[in-house]
Chains A and B, each alone.
Chain A
Amino acid sequence: DGGITQSPKYLFRKEGQNVTLSCEQNLNHDAMYWYRQDPGQGLRLIYYSQIVNDFQKGDIAEGYSVSREKKESFPLTVTSAQKNPTAFYLCASSISIASNEQFFGPGTRLTVL
């Protein structure tokens, strides 16, 4: 998990602004994931990507968008359409979606002011 990084660690956003969270991995993993973590609710899947140039919605995709132009990178944009964006965002990767074991990045804490 040391090979997956997220930036920034803390992010503040004004209401109505879009913001992009970075996720990079050098593990040569095909699959990447974005989760949102709220107190008492565990980790909920936002989007995932099985391979470059492909991604699918998770359970709570509304108000978010992603891209997967490079194998190493899977940025997440939190748009103004996301009604309650304040949360801890975790990126993860796995060798493939079938390999199951996921490695997590250190997370980005987003606060909407």
Chain B
Amino acid sequence: GENVEQHPSTLSVQEGDSAVIKCTYSDSASNYFPWYKQELGKRPQLIIDIRSNVGEKKDQRIAVTLNKTAKHFSLHITETQPEDSAVYFCAASGPGGGNKLTFGTGTQLKVEL
């Protein structure tokens, strides 16, 4: 089945700096890659996703890049703000896994003032 690895597990940045979180996946047939943000004690919420026919997608301060050849994708947050502090999860899915999402282990992002 699919295996998703996520790094780093914790990340501290100064307010205004950029943050990058990286994930790798194992199944070359995977074709959908979402990123979820989870604040403490709350539900995960989708912040951005990308499909395998696209190399990059942006939404204001958030961007995701996908390298299908290397089987890795990354989340980029620019001009970080304190409210960006949360746990971020990547995930992957595709027909090889019955279209079920396989999640990474999460990255605790802390934006310091």
Using CB atoms and an 8 Å cutoff, list the residues of chain A in contact with chain B.
1, 33, 40-45, 48, 58-59, 90, 97-98, 100-107
Q: Are B105 and A101 in contact (CB under 8 A)?
A: no
Nearest opposing residue in chain B for A101, CB measure: B46
Contact of B43 among A33, A59, A104 (CB under 8 A): A104
Q: What are 18 A-to-B residue pairs whose CB atoms are below 8 Å?
A: A1-B43, A42-B6, A43-B103, A45-B101, A97-B99, A98-B99, A100-B34, A100-B93, A100-B99, A100-B101, A101-B34, A101-B46, A101-B49, A104-B44, A104-B45, A105-B43, A106-B42, A107-B43
Report the Cα distance A42→B103, complex, angstroms. Answer: 6
Point out the residues of chain A lying under 8 angstroms from B104, CB to CB: 42
Point out the residues of chain B lying under 8 angstroms from A58, CB to CB: 100
Report the Cα distance A98→B31, complex, angstroms. Answer: 11
Nearest CB on A from B18, distance (A): 24
Q: Are B98 and A97 in contact (CB under 8 A)?
A: yes
Report the Cα distance A98→B101, complex, angstroms. Answer: 11
Q: Does more than half of chain A's interface fall in helix, strand or loop, or is it mixed? A: loop
B3-46 Cβ-contact flags toward A at 8 Å (1 or 0): 00010010000000000000000000000101010000111111
Does B89 make an interface contact (CB < 8 A)? Answer: yes
Q: Are A100 and B32 in contact (CB under 8 A)?
A: yes
Nearest opposing residue in chain A for B45, CB measure: A1
A42-B106, A101-B34 are contacts. A48–B100 as well, Cβ < 8 Å? yes
Report the Cα distance A105→B1, complex, angstroms. Answer: 26
Nearest 7 A/B pairs, CB to CB: A104-B43, A42-B103, A42-B105, A43-B103, A100-B32, A97-B99, A104-B44
Report the Cα distance A1→B42, complex, angstroms. Answer: 12
Nearest CB on A from B97, distance (A): 10
Nearest CB on A from B5, distance (A): 10
